[in-house]
Amino acid sequence: MGQILGIGTTHSPPLSLPEAAAVAYVHQALNAPNADPGYKDRASWPKGMLDEMGADEGASASKAHRARMVENFRKQRRMLDEFRPDFVMIFGDDQYENFKEDIIPPFCVYGLDDELEAKPWTRKRYVENGNAWSEAQGWIFKVKGHREGAKYVTSELIRRGVCMPYAYKLKEALLPHAFLNTLLYLDYDRAGFPYPVIPFHVNCYGSEVLKTKGGHRAHLFQTLEQQGLPDPPGPSAAMCMDVGAILAKSLAASPYRVALIASSSWSHAALSSNTKRMIPDHEADRRMLEAFKSGDYGYWRRQTTEQLVAAGQHEIYNWMLLAGAMDELKRKPVIDDYLETWLFQSSKIFASFRL
């Protein structure tokens, strides 16, 4: 019988940037062309936002926010090392990185080759700003795949009624950042990441992925007009949770020890129309968190696409698969940390479902 560890984490891009660039990321949003004019006057800001900005334009708060994230990633790495999985399956989203106009699948399991040599710092933002580890642009991060495990998972999902796409090759040279950042952070101290990885793509951005070309802050910097009908939506919360439940059944019947990792922050400020795209939707996140802590997965299942999109919770669909799997296994989470923030784009939740 299979053994399953559940982990919820984040792939927050600013954590991979040097501190100065991460703080600049905040000010770029505040000064964006389409930023809500009401936020130009700091006297109108909520107290929590003022407190984070402080007297040093957010530098101290950013440093503390980063330190908490790093400590949580170290804790999650220890969980993995204690569990020693046969493979790690990461639920993450592709933001116009591999999937573009030629195909946008609702889900996709990647059965990667035995070893992939990723060069994360060749992306434009790192060429321009450097990275948090001061690693060379040509530095290589080695990722092991687990094609047999990917074949097993995909075959079982199809047998159990899920029309599951799969891929053996990446169209681009890099893993989408949702997966690659997660691995970089789980190996924050660069001890090496020895566990094979199966990326499990979720179309979190649905109707917006092509319109914004994956840029979650596109609405702040561009005028995006809708031409004709919207593009088709991504999978619903209920669909994601159903697939997660079937996945849990499949893995429980397998010979594998598997760590299931959902990677994303929750409400993103720049995506939340409820908050004029300037701060995260804390109320929506808090309601989701309370339901999550109590194991009220029905509340999660009932969330509509319209509700989640208005709250900027697009990427929580990654967590929906994990929640569906853990509901099937009758497990409630341990909330290891909840980093609520006003300035730093999104609140981060670190959670685990231990054996």
Number of folded domains that form the chain: 1
Tell me the backbone φ, ψ of residue 116, rounded to 5 degrees: -115, 130
**pLDDT of 173:** 66
- Residue 77 neighbours by CB under 8 Å, 6+ apart: 186, 187, 188
Domain of 55, in residue numbers: 3-224+233-353
Residue 177 contacts residue 11 (beta carbons within 8 Å): yes
255-269 pLDDT, tens digit each: 999 999 999 999 999
pLDDT > 80? residue 174? no
d(CA 51, CA 61): 8
79-115 pLDDT, tens digit each: 999 999 999 999 999 999 999 999 999 999 999 888 8
d(CA 343, CA 26): 6
- Residue 282 neighbours by CB under 8 Å, 6+ apart: 267, 340, 347
Q: What is the mean pLDDT of residues 42-59?
A: 95
pLDDT > 80? residue 172? no
> pLDDT-based confidence at 347, cuts 50/70/90?
very high
**pLDDT of 86:** 98
Which amino acid, 354?
Answer: R
225-235 pLDDT, tens digit each: 888 999 999 99
Mean pLDDT, the chain, integer: 95
7-23 pLDDT, tens digit each: 999 999 999 999 999 99
Q: What is the mean pLDDT of residues 123-152?
A: 96
State the CB neighbour count (10 A cutoff) for residue 130. 17
pLDDT > 80? residue 319? yes
pTM of the model: 0.97
Q: What's the token pair of residue 163?
A: 């029309």
pLDDT > 90? residue 316? yes
d(CA 108, CA 270): 26
d(CA 84, CA 132): 27
> pLDDT-based confidence at 72, cuts 50/70/90?
very high
Q: How much of the chain exceeds pLDDT 90, in percent? A: 89
CATH number at residue 275: 3.40.830.10
